[in-house]
A and B are shown apart, each in its own frame.
Chain A
Amino acid sequence: MITKRIIPCLDVKDGRVVKGVNFAGITDVSHPVKLAKFYSDAGADELVFYDITASVEERNLFTEILTEVAASIFIPLTVGGGIRTLGDFDRVLKCGADKVSVNSGALQNPNLIKEAAQRYGNQCVVLSVDAKRVQGAYHVFAKGGREDTGLDLLDWVRRGVDAGAGEIVLNSIDTDGVKRGFDLEMLKAVCEVVSVPIIASGGAGSIEDFITLFQTLPQVDAGLAASIFHFGEIAIPDLKQALAEQGIIVRR
């Protein structure tokens, strides 16, 4: 049976891995290639690389680093941050990315998902969404979580999947960095409207949070986190051991 995936996310700025708490207060953590190798050896099922500043400062991804990662790490790699055009897809896919994650770029140009899915296949297009509760509804936020688009989360993911997104990364701004667990309520709402794989992001603080995620919402395919892995608060082999003990199927 297909396994639940554990995905460390490496936010990259100036060629280094960083992770902010609620997207502020950025701290330097490590070198992307070394960290990626470490995670791959530890049993990470996939890695996500985000250029966290690209959508703000229009900076290109550090393709040299990506190439170096892809040349030495043989698990699926997703790349995001500053993806606005098919040319951006092409650029990161040539560096060895397997999937490309779109966020602000798709908000600005909703045709991007459709065009990319037609050219590279749905499995290649990941729709990443930052969402937050606003007056009783879930709103989609742009620009690294700083700008309320006013779009309804559920409408947006439905449109994204219809256009060809093969996977959804749902990052709850409400729980991100708080470390008290994933946003189960928001995730459940998204699971109910689309049938593509859902990757939960934002809020993991302990091994128990992952167990709760997969037990409460078996339709969620993967859990994504950054700082708890980067700072060694959770070791991936321990996490997988604990999930397996709870009867959750993982790759060992």
Chain B
Amino acid sequence: MIAIVDYGVGNLFSLQSSLKAIGAQVTVTGDPNILRQADKLILPGVGAFGDAAKQLRETGLAQVVYNEAKKGKPILGICLGMQLPFEKSYEYGEHPGLGLLQGEIIPMAGQIPRRLKIPHIGWNALILKQKNHPLFRYIQPGDCVYFVHSYYAAHCETSLIATAEYGIELTAAAAYENIMGCQFHPEKSGSVGLNILKAFHEFPKS
């Protein structure tokens, strides 16, 4: 069973529906016991890093996610949920993350050419840095996924598995052992996104 971590941030309807569509058993919960029992966790998130990180800590779920990750449970972060496992973020100040992945979250502004719009919104092609990563089992280079973000993970060479070109190469997906994340929205990326969720669903249990 896959548990979507519900810490009061964002709308989880589409994510839940997409997991049902690939045949996964899924629950949306903020109950630590259910999260501990689940085979896999999905960490969602929208909005600003600082607010979401605070919410995750205040609900006590940051510690639950951290402990489960350290036990080896497969975890997939999505969008802001992909950024939270890194060490820190510079979105409106400086905020600590979960520290499960090396690297930090920085603004695109100043890094990408001025002619490009921020946020990076729309469909962009994946550039696979680790073609054989289990998440990409059903993915071809050049497959497009849907992005909406203004910040991205940098200095994350140890976990970088895919990028997307937007003036520079932005981190699109990261993975280190059982901790994985997609900057894009697999639940909004058509069949390509469903295939990534399917690959996560099939990822070996710890």
Tell me whether A and B are bound partners: yes
Residues of A near any B CB (own CB < 8 A): 1-3, 5, 40, 45, 67, 70-72, 74-76, 93-96, 98, 121-123, 166-167, 195-197, 221-222, 251-252
Closest 10 pairs (CB-CB, A-B): A251-B144, A71-B17, A251-B123, A96-B13, A3-B123, A2-B122, A123-B148, A96-B14, A2-B124, A74-B18
Q: How far is it, in angstroms, between the C-alpha of A208 and the C-alpha of B133 when the chains are bound?
A: 41
In contact, A70 and B187 (Cβ under 8 angstroms)? no
Q: How far is the CA of A121 from the CA of B91 in the complex (A)?
A: 14
Given known contacts A1-B124, A3-B144, A98 and B119 CB-to-CB distance under 8 angstroms: no
The interface bits of chain B over 70-114 (1 if a CB of A lies within 8 angstroms of the residue's CB, else 0) are 000000000000000000000000000000000000000000000
One of B120, B190, B193 near A2 (C-beta < 8 A):
B120
Answer whether residue B46 sits at the interface, using C-beta atoms and an 8 A cutoff.
Answer: yes
Roughly how many angstroms separate A67 CA and B16 CA in the complex, as a whole number? 12
Q: How many Å from the CB of A3 to the closest CB on chain B?
A: 5
> A residues within 8 A CB of B187?
74
Instruction: Please indicate which of the listed interface residues B11, B17, B144, B166 has the most CB atoms of chain A within 10 Å of its own CB.
Output: B11
Cβ contact within 8 Å between A195 and B122? no
DSSP majority for the B interface?
mixed
A76 to B21, CA, bound (A): 16
Query: Closest residue of chain A to B146, judged by CB?
Result: A76
Some 27 contacts from A to B, beta carbons below 8 A apart, are A2-B120, A2-B121, A2-B124, A3-B122, A3-B124, A3-B125, A5-B122, A70-B13, A70-B14, A71-B13, A71-B17, A74-B17, A74-B18, A74-B21, A74-B190, A74-B194, A75-B190, A76-B188, A94-B11, A123-B119, A123-B121, A166-B121, A195-B117, A196-B117, A197-B122, A221-B117, A251-B144
Partner of A72, one of B13, B21, B121, B166: B21
Give A223 to B125 CA distance when docked, in angstroms.
19
Interface size class of B (residues with CB under 8 A): 20 to 34
A45, A96, A166, A251 — which one has the most chain B CB atoms within 10 A of its CB?
A251
Check A1/B146 contact, CB under 8 A, given A70-B13, A121-B46. no
- Is B165 located at the chain interface by the 8 A CB criterion? yes
Contact of B188 (CB < 8 Å), options: A75, A93, A251 = A75
Name the distance in Å between A33's Cβ and chain B's nearest Cβ: 13
- Of the residues B117, B123, B146, B189, contact of A197 by C-beta under 8 Å: B117
Q: Decide if B117 touches A1 in the complex (CB within 8 Å).
A: no
A2-B124, A3-B125, A75-B190 given. 20 additional CB < 8 A pairs? Answer: A1-B124, A2-B122, A2-B123, A5-B122, A45-B123, A67-B13, A71-B20, A72-B17, A72-B21, A74-B21, A74-B187, A74-B189, A74-B194, A122-B119, A123-B148, A166-B119, A167-B121, A196-B117, A221-B122, A222-B122
